[in-house]
Amino acid sequence: MKTTALFIVPAVYALFWLGTASAQDSSYEISNNLPGIGAATVYTGAPSGFDPATASDADLQTYGYPRRPDPSDKKAYAVWGRAVSATRVTPELVPNPGRFHRPGQQVATGSTVKNTTNVSFLNWSGYALIGGSPVFDEVVGVWIVPNINTQFESFTGYSSMWIGIDGDCTCDDLVQDGTEADWVGGKAIYDAWIESIPNPEVVIKNFSIQPGDVISAYSLVGTKSGVVTGFYYIANFNTKKAVSASLPIPTGATF
């Protein structure tokens, strides 16, 4: 199995672990059937006294938290600590059928340093880690939401910053999440989204995103009730709010 970790951000951490969540506590999750997407789960919180710093990996996944990095990696652990300390917002998920964040449409491959390759694409730019053992199943990113200004009032454009698993490959299967910064109809539009390609993006409608916000996002692949699933966690360090959700891997996609 070949996977790639896709980074569209200036700060990233790759973690390695694959496991199965413990029995779900249904009082802390809500299931949704999204049109054109299928089953989705949003996570609302955790039991009183739950401490992400000491919880097992399985319980972190059960309650919709990202995996805990090694405390010896002080930078990654500090970012994770801020992310899991944010107040959880129950996300309102709305499919956006016309929008996809596709795998890279390759133009040219540049230099390679260790397993990091400089590649030019038509549709995205950033960094990709390829290969390695075990394969990547989680990617973490931190970025600042850019300001979309008014100097091109007649221009319509779309942009995103995101992270994902797969994308620098001949494939059509991605687990990814990020933020959108668009200029449409003479105004700027900002939002957050999650996605499991080949399905379209799912917008998080009730999660405020503004220029200058510092975003920490996590995409990972695990299992939920025996089903291979993409798990997503997005924290806004400016608002101190976070959202957590999961989408099953689409039928026909393999990871």
Assess if residue 84 is contained within a domain.
Answer: yes
pLDDT (tens digit per residue) in 204-215: 999 999 999 999
Assess if residue 112 is contained within a domain.
Answer: yes
Domain that holds residue 172: 4-248
78: enclosing H helix or E strand: helix 74-85
Residue 143 CB partners (closer than 8 Å, separation 6+) = 9, 10, 11, 161, 179, 214, 215
Assess if residue 241 is contained within a domain.
Answer: yes
In angstroms, the CA 204 to CA 211 distance is 17
Q: Which residues pair with 251 in a beta bridge?
A: none
Assess if residue 177 is contained within a domain.
Answer: yes
pLDDT (tens digit per residue) in 48-94: 999 999 999 999 999 999 999 999 999 999 999 999 999 999 999 99
pLDDT in tens, the chain (255 residues): 334 444 444 333 333 332 333 334 568 999 988 888 888 999 999 999 999 999 999 999 999 999 999 999 999 999 999 999 999 999 999 988 777 665 655 555 555 545 555 566 666 667 777 776 777 889 999 999 999 887 766 778 888 899 988 755 666 678 899 999 998 888 899 999 999 878 888 999 999 999 999 999 999 998 998 888 999 999 999 999 999 999 988 887 776
Assess if residue 254 is contained within a domain.
Answer: no
Dihedral class, residue 208 (left if φ above 0, else alpha if ψ from -120 to 50, else beta): beta
CA distance to 61, 117, 147, 149, 152, per residue, from 28 (Å)? 12, 40, 35, 39, 45
Q: How many domains, in total, are found in the chain? A: 1
Assess if residue 164 is contained within a domain.
Answer: yes
Peptide bond into 35 cis (omega under 30): no
**Contact in structure between 136 and 200 (CB atoms under 8 Å):** no
Peptide bond into 91 cis (omega under 30): no
Greatest alpha-carbon pair distance for the chain in Å reads 53
pLDDT of residue 196: 85
Assess if residue 253 is contained within a domain.
Answer: no
